[in-house]
Protein backbone atom coordinates (compact mmCIF):
# COMPACT_ATOMS: atom_id res chain seq x y z
CA UNK A 1 0.00 0.00 0.00
CA UNK A 2 1.36 3.43 -0.89
CA UNK A 3 0.61 5.55 2.08
CA UNK A 4 1.44 8.64 4.01
CA UNK A 5 4.59 10.49 4.81
CA UNK A 6 7.61 8.94 6.39
CA UNK A 7 8.70 10.52 9.66
CA UNK A 8 11.56 12.26 7.90
CA UNK A 9 9.41 13.38 5.01
CA UNK A 10 6.51 14.95 6.86
CA UNK A 11 7.75 18.49 6.40
CA UNK A 12 8.15 18.11 2.66
CA UNK A 13 4.83 16.30 2.49
CA UNK A 14 2.75 19.09 4.00
CA UNK A 15 4.73 22.12 2.87
CA UNK A 16 3.20 22.40 -0.63
CA UNK A 17 -0.26 22.56 0.94
CA UNK A 18 0.32 25.13 3.68
CA UNK A 19 -1.10 28.04 1.73
CA UNK A 20 -4.30 26.18 0.98
CA UNK A 21 -4.63 24.86 4.52
CA UNK A 22 -4.17 28.34 5.90
CA UNK A 23 -6.78 29.81 3.59
CA UNK A 24 -9.28 27.15 4.52
CA UNK A 25 -8.63 27.64 8.21
CA UNK A 26 -9.10 31.39 7.76
CA UNK A 27 -12.46 30.77 6.11
CA UNK A 28 -13.48 28.43 8.89
CA UNK A 29 -12.44 30.35 12.00
CA UNK A 30 -11.33 33.75 10.74
CA UNK A 31 -7.85 34.98 9.92
CA UNK A 32 -6.96 35.76 13.52
CA UNK A 33 -7.24 32.14 14.59
CA UNK A 34 -6.14 30.46 11.38
CA UNK A 35 -2.57 29.91 12.51
CA UNK A 36 -3.67 28.15 15.66
CA UNK A 37 -5.97 25.87 13.73
CA UNK A 38 -3.35 25.05 11.09
CA UNK A 39 -0.81 24.23 13.75
CA UNK A 40 -3.33 22.09 15.59
CA UNK A 41 -4.22 20.35 12.34
CA UNK A 42 -0.59 19.62 11.50
CA UNK A 43 0.00 18.09 14.89
CA UNK A 44 -3.11 16.00 14.37
CA UNK A 45 -1.99 15.03 10.88
CA UNK A 46 1.34 13.91 12.29
CA UNK A 47 -0.36 11.85 14.96
CA UNK A 48 -2.72 10.32 12.45
CA UNK A 49 -0.30 10.00 9.54
CA UNK A 50 -0.63 6.24 9.58
CA UNK A 51 -4.32 6.57 8.77
CA UNK A 52 -3.67 8.30 5.45
CA UNK A 53 -4.46 6.01 2.55
CA UNK A 54 -2.95 7.21 -0.70
CA UNK A 55 -5.12 4.78 -2.61
CA UNK A 56 -8.16 6.83 -1.66
CA UNK A 57 -6.93 10.23 -2.69
CA UNK A 58 -4.32 12.93 -2.64
CA UNK A 59 -2.93 14.36 0.60
CA UNK A 60 -4.61 17.74 0.24
CA UNK A 61 -8.22 16.62 0.74
CA UNK A 62 -7.09 14.52 3.70
CA UNK A 63 -5.29 17.47 5.25
CA UNK A 64 -8.20 19.81 4.55
CA UNK A 65 -10.55 17.41 6.28
CA UNK A 66 -8.33 17.57 9.35
CA UNK A 67 -8.36 21.37 9.20
CA UNK A 68 -12.14 21.27 9.01
CA UNK A 69 -12.33 18.97 12.02
CA UNK A 70 -9.96 21.08 14.08
CA UNK A 71 -11.84 24.22 13.05
CA UNK A 72 -15.06 22.76 14.34
CA UNK A 73 -13.42 21.93 17.63
CA UNK A 74 -11.98 25.42 17.75
CA UNK A 75 -15.39 26.97 17.19
CA UNK A 76 -16.91 24.97 20.01
CA UNK A 77 -14.32 26.38 22.37
CA UNK A 78 -14.70 29.98 21.42
CA UNK A 79 -17.19 32.03 19.57
CA UNK A 80 -15.81 33.03 16.22
CA UNK A 81 -16.41 36.62 15.32
CA UNK A 82 -16.39 37.65 11.73
CA UNK A 83 -13.24 39.61 11.20
CA UNK A 84 -14.60 42.32 8.98
CA UNK A 85 -11.29 44.15 8.93
CA UNK A 86 -9.76 41.25 7.11
CA UNK A 87 -12.14 41.48 4.19
CA UNK A 88 -10.28 43.36 1.55
CA UNK A 89 -9.10 46.94 1.65
CA UNK A 90 -11.43 49.01 3.83
CA UNK A 91 -10.68 52.06 1.74
CA UNK A 92 -11.92 50.50 -1.42
CA UNK A 93 -15.46 50.42 -2.65
CA UNK A 94 -14.96 46.77 -3.42
CA UNK A 95 -14.53 46.12 0.29
CA UNK A 96 -18.06 47.23 1.08
CA UNK A 97 -19.44 45.01 -1.62
CA UNK A 98 -17.31 42.17 -0.36
CA UNK A 99 -18.65 42.72 3.15
CA UNK A 100 -22.20 42.41 1.89
CA UNK A 101 -21.21 39.27 0.09
CA UNK A 102 -19.44 37.87 3.17
CA UNK A 103 -22.51 38.44 5.32
CA UNK A 104 -24.64 36.64 2.78
CA UNK A 105 -22.17 33.75 2.48
CA UNK A 106 -22.30 33.26 6.23
CA UNK A 107 -26.05 32.81 5.98
CA UNK A 108 -25.79 30.03 3.40
CA UNK A 109 -26.67 26.45 4.31
CA UNK A 110 -23.57 24.62 5.50
CA UNK A 111 -22.89 22.61 2.35
CA UNK A 112 -23.40 25.58 0.07
CA UNK A 113 -21.13 27.71 2.16
CA UNK A 114 -18.46 25.05 2.23
CA UNK A 115 -18.56 24.75 -1.54
CA UNK A 116 -18.32 28.52 -1.95
CA UNK A 117 -15.48 28.79 0.56
CA UNK A 118 -13.47 26.00 -1.00
CA UNK A 119 -14.02 26.96 -4.62
CA UNK A 120 -14.05 30.75 -4.64
CA UNK A 121 -12.02 31.67 -1.57
CA UNK A 122 -9.61 28.82 -0.92
CA UNK A 123 -9.21 28.53 -4.67
CA UNK A 124 -9.56 24.79 -5.19
CA UNK A 125 -10.71 23.22 -8.42
CA UNK A 126 -14.03 21.41 -8.55
CA UNK A 127 -12.45 17.96 -8.44
CA UNK A 128 -10.57 18.71 -5.23
CA UNK A 129 -13.61 20.37 -3.69
CA UNK A 130 -15.52 17.18 -4.46
CA UNK A 131 -12.90 15.09 -2.68
CA UNK A 132 -13.01 17.31 0.38
CA UNK A 133 -16.81 17.29 0.45
CA UNK A 134 -16.92 13.57 -0.33
CA UNK A 135 -19.21 13.88 -3.31
CA UNK A 136 -19.05 13.88 -7.09
CA UNK A 137 -17.75 16.89 -9.04
CA UNK A 138 -21.16 17.29 -10.59
CA UNK A 139 -22.66 17.62 -7.14
CA UNK A 140 -20.20 20.39 -6.36
CA UNK A 141 -21.19 22.26 -9.50
CA UNK A 142 -24.84 21.86 -8.60
CA UNK A 143 -24.19 23.02 -5.05
CA UNK A 144 -22.32 26.07 -6.30
CA UNK A 145 -25.21 26.85 -8.62
CA UNK A 146 -27.64 26.56 -5.71
CA UNK A 147 -25.38 28.70 -3.56
CA UNK A 148 -25.32 31.47 -6.14
CA UNK A 149 -29.09 31.34 -6.28
CA UNK A 150 -29.33 31.56 -2.51
CA UNK A 151 -26.81 34.39 -2.41
CA UNK A 152 -28.74 36.33 -5.00
CA UNK A 153 -31.81 36.08 -2.83
CA UNK A 154 -29.92 36.97 0.34
CA UNK A 155 -28.20 39.95 -1.20
CA UNK A 156 -31.51 41.07 -2.62
CA UNK A 157 -33.07 40.73 0.80
CA UNK A 158 -30.33 42.85 2.29
CA UNK A 159 -31.10 45.59 -0.14
CA UNK A 160 -34.81 45.68 0.60
Partner 1 sequence: MSDHDDLHQRLSDAGRRWREGLPPATEAVRHVAPPQRGPRRWTVPVAAAAAAAAVAAIAGASVVLRSGDDQSPKPPVATQPTPTPTPTPPPTPPTGPPPSPTGPVACGPDDLVAGAPQTEGAAGTAVIIVPLTLAAGAEPCTIEGYPDVALLQHGTDLGLTGTHNTAFPPSRIRMAPGATADVSIGWAVSHYCGNVDNDQIRITLPGGQILTVPGFGQSSCSPGEQGSPPWVTSVTRQ
Touching partner 1, residues 17-36 (CB under 8 A): 18-23, 26, 30-36
The b/e string for 24-44 (b: 16+ C-beta within 10 A; e otherwise) is: bbbbbbbeebbeebbebbbeb
Q: Which residues pair with 3 in a beta bridge?
A: 53
Q: Rounded to 5 degrees, what are φ and ψ at 53? A: -120, 105
Q: Does 153 bind partner 1 (CB under 8 A)?
A: no
Q: What sign for the dihedral angle of Cα 130, 133, 138, 142?
A: negative
- The number of residues that bind partner 1 (CB under 8 A) is 71
Residues 83-122 that bind partner 1 (CB under 8 A): 83, 85-89, 94-95, 97-98, 101-102, 116, 120-121
- Taking the least distance from each CB to partner 1, the nearer of 65 and 140 is 65
> What's the closest the beta carbon of residue 136 comes to partner 1, in angstroms?
6
DSSP state of 80: P
Element (H, E) at 133: helix 126-133
Of the candidates 82, 109, 145, 157, which one interacts with partner 1 according to CB under 8 A? 145
Segment lying near partner 1 (by CB under 8 A), choices 52-60, 73-81, 106-114: 52-60
Segment lying near partner 1 (by CB under 8 A), choices 46-54, 74-82, 106-114: 46-54
Amino acid sequence: MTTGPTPDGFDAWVRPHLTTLHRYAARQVGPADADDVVQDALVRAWQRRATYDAARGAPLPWLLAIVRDRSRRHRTRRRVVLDLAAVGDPAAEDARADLDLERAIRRLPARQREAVDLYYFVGLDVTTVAEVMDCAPGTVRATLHQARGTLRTLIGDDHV
